[in-house]
Amino acid sequence: MSLPARLIAAGATLICLAPAQAAVTFYTDETSFLSAVGSQQATMGYEGIAPAGGTTSIFGTHSEDGLNISNIAIIIDDGLAGGVYNVGSGDNAQTNPNVVSTVTWDSGPMFAASLEYFTVQPSGAHAIGNVRLTLASGEFIDLLGPASGDNFIGFITDAAVTSFSLRTISPSSGDGRRWLETDNISVYDRLDTASVPVPAPLAMVGLGLLGMTRHRHRARAWTWSSHARRFTP
């Protein structure tokens, strides 16, 4: 078998055997995220759930506009505790330390989602804390809750996911504990095709074709796809 034929065969083998890995892009800048996605499909903002200056106990799943988020402890009005929860976006949902909250959508899989978040210490005041967002497909990003205000996180994936989850990573006792506050969760079921990350199988197709003349591209593309599952800023 000639060298070109062997390379084509090798490329075909890679296409068949390459793991089905999603290509995911995470965004910490809201403007960049919004410029990359299409029309918003559903939003969970918790507005009007808690009484003025008070809280509403949930201790379970909260549903709104077809979105569902599990393991919410309470929903907090932004006027509680002298406005400590007022970050300019209305009521927030609180999850207890290290508890996983999972977001699903009644309409089906999601190609993108975004939310605002921050973390609080036992006193209820803002405090920097570790947060992890994990997609159902396994990709995740580690984040830091801000010392004040709230932060933004969004993701776009080439392979729709059925859910994603959030949790703090903190000590189980003492002042180091962190509660997670979320707000304005938005999901998208379609995207501008220009914004969709290149899927790994498509990269393998191109790899097989380019392999006839540039065999060294195979190792480079495979390394990229095998590391594209996780991103830590």
- In whole angstroms, how far apart are CA 182 and each of 44, 77, 87, 125? 10, 12, 11, 15
What are the residue ranges spanned by the domains of the chain? 3-20+198-227, 24-193
User: 10-residue block means of pLDDT along the chain (233 residues)?
Assistant: 48 41 89 84 84 88 93 86 58 93 93 93 90 96 92 94 96 93 88 53 43 40 33 40
3-state secondary structure of 210: helix
Instruction: Give the model's pLDDT for residue 14.
Output: 35
CA atoms within 13 A on the CB side of 22: 24
How wide is the angle at C-alpha 89 spanned by C-alphas 83 and 95, nearest 5°?
Answer: 75
Which has the closest alpha carbon to 233: 37, 29, 34?
Answer: 29
For residue 186, report the phi and psi dihedrals to the nearest 5 degrees: -125, 140
CB 108 within 8 A of CB 189: yes
Instruction: Give the model's pLDDT for residue 91.
Output: 85
Give the separation between CA 181 and CA 129, rounded to whole angstroms. 11
Give the separation between CA 141 and CA 155, rounded to whole angstroms. 10
Instruction: Give the model's pLDDT for residue 148.
Output: 86
Given this structure, which CATH class describes domain 24-193? mainly beta
Instruction: Give the model's pLDDT for residue 46.
Output: 87
